């Protein structure tokens, strides 16, 4: 079995910044957030189910999902979030497995904000946690997205807390420094994972 490495971290922790670096070195990255978008594209049964449940107003004029509107609804109401997760997570899980199986790179990364919350970590041999203090998570997410502080805090509250996530880490990447600091750690991680993949081949 080829080496599959999980990368996780809370919203805005820097998972994408890390995996972009690995991808640029030829590593296949399966990104759960990207897969989550694919399963609700127009024409997919999950989008029709969402429109039926939340009403047609959850769609934009072009028929695509109004993600900002759905974000508002599901992070304000845990029952609605669970409904959405019960619909989408099995579809996301199946698509992730297919994409992992198709990978031919030296090792393969599964990047997911919810790697440790459900069963996705079972697909991985090693868990890498990208860690930043919650204040920095909040600051970087607000600078990136069109989300107010309360909204980002609600999303953070729907995820594992920092200590619980760190307790499940095999490797921790500290992203509280600059992007250059992150790249140095990314290169060291890449070399370590190449060695491990070679040893297991």
Ligand X SMILES: CC(C)(COP(=O)(O)OP(=O)(O)OC[C@H]1O[C@@H](n2cnc3c(N)ncnc32)[C@H](O)[C@@H]1O)[C@@H](O)C(=O)NCCC(=O)NCCS
70 is a site residue for ligand ATP (CB under 6 A) = no
113 is a site residue for ligand X (CB under 6 A) = yes
Give least dist CB 12 to ligand ATP, A.
4
The answer to whether 122 and 18 have CB atoms below 8 angstroms apart is no
From 21-29, 41-49, 84-92, 162-170, span contacting ligand X (CB under 6 A): 84-92
From 53-61, 79-87, 173-181, 193-201, span contacting ligand X (CB under 6 A): 79-87
Q: Is residue 14 a known part of a binding site?
A: yes
Residue 22 in tokens = 């690995």
Q: Is residue 15 a known part of a binding site?
A: yes
36 is a site residue for ligand X (CB under 6 A) = yes
| Rounded-to-integer distance, Cα 65 and Cα 42, Å | 8
Q: Which does 84 bind (CB under 5 to 8 A by kind): ligand ATP, ligand X, none?
A: ligand X
Residue choice 138, 175, 189, 197 for contact with ligand ATP (CB under 6 A): 175
CA 23 → CA 26, 100, 156, distances in Å? 5, 14, 26
| Rounded-to-integer distance, Cα 80 and Cα 17, Å | 30
Q: Is residue 13 a known part of a binding site?
A: yes
**Distant-in-sequence contacts of 119-124, Cβ < 8 A, 24+ apart:** 119/93, 120/6, 120/32, 120/93, 120/96, 121/6, 121/168, 123/4, 123/6, 123/96, 123/97, 124/4, 124/5, 124/6
List residues near ligand X by CB under 6 A: 11, 32-33, 36, 67, 70-71, 74, 81, 84-85, 88, 92, 112-114, 155, 158-159
Binding-site sequence positions for ATP = 12-17
């Amino acid at each position: 079995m080829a080496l599959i490495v999980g990368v996780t971290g809370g919203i805005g922790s820097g998972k994408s910044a890390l995996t972009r670096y690995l991808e640029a070195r030829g590593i296949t990255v399966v990104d759960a957030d990207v897969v989550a978008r694919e399963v609700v594209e127009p024409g997919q049964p999950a989008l029709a189910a969402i429109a039926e449940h939340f009403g047609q107003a959850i769609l934009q004029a072009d028929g695509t999902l109004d993600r900002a509107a759905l974000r508002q609804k599901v992070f304000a109401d845990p029952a609605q979030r669970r409904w959405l997760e019960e619909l989408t997570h099995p579809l996301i899980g199946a698509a992730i497995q297919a994409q992992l199986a198709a990978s031919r790179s030296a090792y393969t990364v599964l990047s997911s904000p919810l790697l440790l919350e459900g069963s996705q970590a079972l697909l991985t041999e090693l868990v890498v946690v990208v860690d930043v203090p919650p204040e920095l998570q909040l600051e970087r997410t607000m600078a990136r997205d069109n989300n107010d502080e309360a909204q980002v805090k609600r999303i953070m509250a729907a995820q594992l807390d920092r200590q619980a996530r760190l307790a499940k880490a095999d490797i921790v990447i500290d992203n509280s420094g600059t992007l250059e600091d992150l790249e140095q750690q990314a290169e060291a991680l890449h070399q370590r994972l190449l060695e491990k993949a070679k040893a297991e081949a």
